[in-house]
Structure 1
Amino acid sequence: MKVSAVRVLTGAAGMALMGVGASLLVDVRDLAGVLVWLGGAVLLHDAVIAPLVLFIGLVLVRGGVRGPVRGALLVAGALTAVALPVLLRPGKPANSSVLPLDYPRNWLLAMVAVATVTTFLLAVRGTRRTRRRPPS
């Protein structure tokens, strides 16, 4: 089985980022709370997001766009699950350095980026299919 260079590089980048995340856990004071939050994120993904995405992909999306749309929905769902604590927190925090960024805006920008990349991929895929077909 031949593995592409992109896959190897993506896997290496993912492993490096997981190492950074694991190293950051060393300084956490409430490790049990973090592990509960991470377990909740996994449960949210496996029990809600993944089945919903599969259902939408099966029922609403037809043809060759199903894969990219499912991928976009999974990424959007995962980003939303990670952002939920700050998206649902009402008002401004007492300490402005706790949540210094505009998280709802940044979440929305991430959703726009996911939609843009998905649209681009679908356009490229459509262009490739059009070129492959012999003239009638």
Structure 2
Amino acid sequence: MAYRYAVAGLGLALMGLGGALLVQQPSPWRIALWLAGAVVVHDGLVAPLVIAVAALTGAFGLRLRGVPRAALIVAGSLTAIALPPLLRPGGTANPTVVPLDYLRNWLLTMAAVALAAGLYAGTRAALRGARRRT
């Protein structure tokens, strides 16, 4: 119980620090507007998409639990982060703004997530099978 109070206290302290830093910014309303936009995008776009994917997979008899669910959540989060540069490719006036090939790196990251999930699930299945045989 003490652990919960300590974590809650730390969270409240960090929220207070974030609020104080927000107020000290030259234009705190722009940052607050951006944060509100993030909440709207999450609640209006990301959460309904996750629910729709869960409903569709359930309708087709697929039960996504554990590793596949975690891999989809990670892939969706990484895609949400990468969407702005993916949707607006092209040069900028400042070449250091987006100096990398976002599409290639996003595809490599998705492949890494799929590979890690597959290796984890395969290793777990192999260990389970080994335990049954012994």
TM-score by length of 1: 0.66
The CA deviation at 1:80 is 0.6
**Equivalent residue number for residue 67 of structure 1:** 66
1:56-88 Cα offsets, whole Å, 9 max, x none, are: 5423535xx742111111111111111111100
Matched, 1:46 2:44: no
Structure 2: how far apart are the matches of 1:95 and 1:89?
15
**Equivalent residue number for residue 31 of structure 1:** 31
**Equivalent residue number for residue 75 of structure 2:** 76
Structure 2: how far apart are the matches of 1:47 and 1:57?
14
The Cα RMSD (Å) is 3.2
Percent pairwise identity: 41
1:43-68 Cα offsets, whole Å, 9 max, x none, are: 222111x2134235423535xx7421
Cα distance change on mapping 1:51 and 1:80 into 2, 3 Å: same
Structure 2: how far apart are the matches of 1:126 and 1:70?
16
Matched, 1:120 2:130: no
The CA deviation at 1:104 is 1.5
1:6-45 Cα offsets, whole Å, 9 max, x none, are: xxxxx9xxx7xx88xx598676853144214412442222
The CA deviation at 1:110 is 1.2
Instruction: Name structure 2 gaps, 5 residues minimum.
Output: 2-6
**Equivalent residue number for residue 104 of structure 1:** 103
Cα distance change on mapping 1:122 and 1:56 into 2, 3 Å: farther
Cα distance change on mapping 1:131 and 1:27 into 2, 3 Å: farther
SS at match of 1:101: coil
Of structures 1 and 2, the larger Rg is shown by: 2
Structure 1: how far apart are the matches of 2:105 and 2:37?
21
**Aligned residues, how many?**
117
Structure 1 residue identity aligned to 2:54: L
Structure 1: how far apart are the matches of 2:40 and 2:80?
10
The CA deviation at 1:101 is 2.0
TM-score by length of 2: 0.67
